[in-house]
Structure 1
């Protein structure tokens, strides 16, 4: 199949979150299955070092609001064989310090204009490069207009007459909401600004457009696909998602097993696998404690957090329980940046309890990998979590995750109950209620099991044996592409 990904970010070109990891990895797995994949991205400032300079760099002109805006489609160096990467270059829109927000953390005031241009320019790029397009795969609100434009403006073009569309929701909390006074910018027909289409409580939503007009909708875990149909997690779009439930599928994200391999990770002091993890993790733990200035206490469990320090990641639970945790026989390492009051709190406490707590308030991939390799447990107390990747990394590296049972955390971590320990399926620990008491209870359960070396070894080894590679998920996406193409073809007949 010929598949075109259209997204606002992808590793290694531009990244603010998990969306970039998915768009950076899934196309490579699809290419290995024999499919032709093109990725179209905005040419953000971070993309510029990847630009190649072939002779063919077509110019496109698209209508945005009351004017025509010109852009140049450039080719980027691809990091995966069989995957082509195109960049939509329009410096006034995309050559900025941030992808979506300014230096004060505020959304750019022209985001509606920027991503209207990007969506329209993406179709122009497909035509300029004469792409065959069996299916367009749009990701998150930034590309929510693609299925709308496909259905209502370019379907008459032979190239797109039978093109299917998939819209993937990576995080429903960000919906691309704009004042209806900006509707004219989209150049969409006014008949689409209704409550059963793009209108949303007096505004309009790019994400809603993607949900309403795509042939198939996906999200990044089975549990999250259920949750977003509920009032608590649906962000106001739950009635629409229930209405389109027959088109909604949850497919868990994967990780790149070649890159995330504790046996060959250059950041890990001693490589290890499922057979040699005891020696490898013991040395990784020793080196990590030495690096962080923590006391060498072999019988004491070392807990890690690699996360943005925000309420969505459950950091308010950690903040409210951290003194209780530090009164117990455990050690804790925190790596990440986020809300100032959390950074300030953890920074102060790491000075006060320097032999027991280390807070490194930065992004550091090397240290993150050493934490995955050296910690005994990983904490992920998320308020909500569409999929999550850290728990997959930790399973791969023999670190037992303690997670709130939501979204992809529920799907990918099997709670250690007497039954699952007995049948050797347990891989971690769940807690359900978003309360400090439930969080602490899960940690106590985990540290209790940790004292039983044989049971703990079964958890570690079962986690390390899980296959959360992209190959499994890629095959599921192929089935969705086929379904979307079938539905589009049936509609065109």
Structure 2
């Protein structure tokens, strides 16, 4: 039996701000329980829902030298779906109203404390991991501290680390002198081939340098980040570590996202009966969103953060033109005010044709995936993306740009070979996007049989966590054996 410890700043169902929480909450329960004892450690935030706080069991506490002071480290735990979760308690650091504060320096101090505490609790909880799987910059100092701790005793020697990058844009950067003061790490670590990047200290870089293996959340993103455009200043390091770098696509919780059992949608459906039952969801969605009731018109869905990264400047540029076509557009999400207002404007201008829902609702997102015909996702970059996996699962054909996880998970339609699970375009260009949307419209209206065959292939894809877990197990085996 091998011991694996996941370290993360968030995890469903305890605390969530983004897709990272889904990965850390879903993946551990799908490992082979005969071979892996996989546990999770995260901060005990004051902003966690009370129902979860009440389930935590106090283990013990001790004091740890950090930032020149003795700091309290409390340890709590709970079990869920057969997985043990540890929580590190310190009210000074984790009492905010959200997991991440607006102050980057404070975030760096808070998560540096977390990284050191993760290693410090191991002898106390009686769980020595063979491998620690670190997620994003908030855990970037764990491989660095581990390197440092090895000088002080046998216990920490031989523990392997994997660093997973969910989004390279976020790196945990602050001036070297301050970070050195906070972390207490010696000068030796603050040089250009270790923690330093462009004269500052960079926590994610430290994790990438010291981890035994580095992963990202899709194969294409792992290739892209070796280039200056996607590399966020670390492309040289990524290229240097390319032998230890791989991409494993995130999975989707196939129990939660299952059109055959989904209680949130008007009528459940599966790959056998979608021709009859999916239109019922479309009619219900048109009714709910105040769109013209017309089962024949093509309904395009968008569920997203409304930001530049997600390609909304392309949509903004082409929205008027798209609205001239025989389509309806339903949007759900919040983000940049200019895009929020853009959709509100078009919902007013094309009432009955465009629906702008400028908020977030998990329930409504399920109904959108179930009721739309196509799903538009023209991202500038997309490490993995989950929305296209949800739309495939619900037989709503994705129209995506070929980047990162979108390229890895959506096979473009080929009308000659009768293959594909969606539509895609390669250049980040508004006209190319519009042409692809119009190509999808043509297939939808003129080749309905081909469209329905594509839905069958889309719904048959397997992007469950079980699939991802097997690939992570292979990676772990390469480091720690059977």
Class of the TM-score when normalised by the shorter of the 2 chains:
over 0.9
User: Which residue is 1:270 aligned to?
Assistant: 267
Give the secondary structure class of the aligned counterpart of 1:125: helix
Q: Deviations over 1:255-279 (max 9, x none)?
A: 1111111000011111111001112
User: Which residue is 1:474 aligned to?
Assistant: 469
- Give the unaligned 5+ runs of structure 2: none
Residue 256 of structure 1 pairs with residue 253 of structure 2: yes
Deviation at 1:32, TM superposition (A): 4.8
Q: Quickly say closer, same or farther: Cα 1:299–1:32, change in 2 above 3 A.
A: farther
User: Which residue is 1:93 aligned to?
Assistant: 93
User: Which residue is 1:216 aligned to?
Assistant: 213
Residue 385 of structure 1 pairs with residue 386 of structure 2: no
Deviation at 1:127, TM superposition (A): 1.9
Residues 414, 428 of structure 1: 8 Å contact kept: yes
Residues 149, 156 of structure 2: 8 Å contact kept: no
Give the secondary structure class of the aligned counterpart of 2:80: coil
Deviation at 1:370, TM superposition (A): 0.3
Residue 74 of structure 1 pairs with residue 76 of structure 2: yes
Deviation at 1:34, TM superposition (A): 4.5
Q: Deviations over 1:194-227 (max 9, x none)?
A: 1100101010110001110000111100000000
Q: Deviations over 1:68-109 (max 9, x none)?
A: 211211113x4322x1111111122112112213xxxx3343
Deviation at 1:327, TM superposition (A): 1.1
Residues 62, 117 of structure 1: 8 Å contact kept: no
In the alignment, which of 126, 143, 158 is matched to residue 147 of structure 1? 143
User: Which residue is 2:407 aligned to?
Assistant: 410
Residue 133 of structure 1 pairs with residue 129 of structure 2: yes
Residue 316 of structure 1 pairs with residue 313 of structure 2: yes
Q: Deviations over 1:232-252 (max 9, x none)?
A: 101111111111111001000
Deviation at 1:9, TM superposition (A): 0.6
Q: Quickly say closer, same or farther: Cα 1:269–1:149, change in 2 above 3 A.
A: same
5 Å-filtered alignment, 1:256-335, equals: 256-335=253-332
Segment drifting more, 29-38 vs 388-397: 29-38
d(CA) in 2 for partners of 1:211, 1:200: 12
Deviation at 1:286, TM superposition (A): 0.3
User: Which residue is 1:457 aligned to?
Assistant: 452
Q: Deviations over 1:319-360 (max 9, x none)?
A: 111111111110000000001111122112212222000011
Residue 160 of structure 1 pairs with residue 135 of structure 2: no
User: Which residue is 2:442 aligned to?
Assistant: 448
Give the secondary structure class of the aligned counterpart of 1:45: coil
d(CA) in 1 for partners of 2:367, 2:231: 36
Residues 52, 74 of structure 1: 8 Å contact kept: no
Give the secondary structure class of the aligned counterpart of 1:272: coil
Residues 195, 205 of structure 2: 8 Å contact kept: yes
Q: Deviations over 1:23-56 (max 9, x none)?
A: 0100111155642111111112343521356764
- Give the unaligned 5+ runs of structure 1: none
d(CA) in 1 for partners of 2:33, 2:407: 29
Segment drifting more, 240-249 vs 67-76: 67-76
User: Which residue is 2:480 aligned to?
Assistant: 485
Deviation at 1:151, TM superposition (A): 1.7
Deviation at 1:128, TM superposition (A): 1.5
Residues 51, 75 of structure 1: 8 Å contact kept: no
Residues 57, 76 of structure 2: 8 Å contact kept: no
Give the secondary structure class of the aligned counterpart of 2:162: strand
User: Which residue is 2:395 aligned to?
Assistant: 398
Q: Quickly say closer, same or farther: Cα 1:229–1:447, change in 2 above 3 A.
A: same
User: Which residue is 2:27 aligned to?
Assistant: 26
Matched residue count: 478
Residue 8 of structure 1 pairs with residue 9 of structure 2: yes
RMSD across aligned C-alpha pairs, in angstroms? 1.6
d(CA) in 1 for partners of 2:168, 2:6: 19
Per the normalisation by structure 1, the TM-score is 0.94
d(CA) in 1 for partners of 2:386, 2:18: 10
Residues 180, 203 of structure 1: 8 Å contact kept: yes
Segment drifting more, 340-349 vs 385-394: 340-349
Q: Deviations over 1:2-35 (max 9, x none)?
A: 1000000111111111111100100111155642
Give the secondary structure class of the aligned counterpart of 1:47: coil
User: Which residue is 2:357 aligned to?
Assistant: 360
Deviation at 1:158, TM superposition (A): 3.7
Residues 4, 133 of structure 1: 8 Å contact kept: yes
d(CA) in 2 for partners of 1:157, 1:404: 50
Q: Deviations over 1:258-308 (max 9, x none)?
A: 111100001111111100111221000000000000001222100000000
Residues 374, 398 of structure 2: 8 Å contact kept: yes
Give the secondary structure class of the aligned counterpart of 1:418: coil
User: Which residue is 1:171 aligned to?
Assistant: 167
Q: Quickly say closer, same or farther: Cα 1:417–1:333, change in 2 above 3 A.
A: same
Residue 431 of structure 1 pairs with residue 409 of structure 2: no
Q: Deviations over 1:461-484 (max 9, x none)?
A: 000000101111101101111223
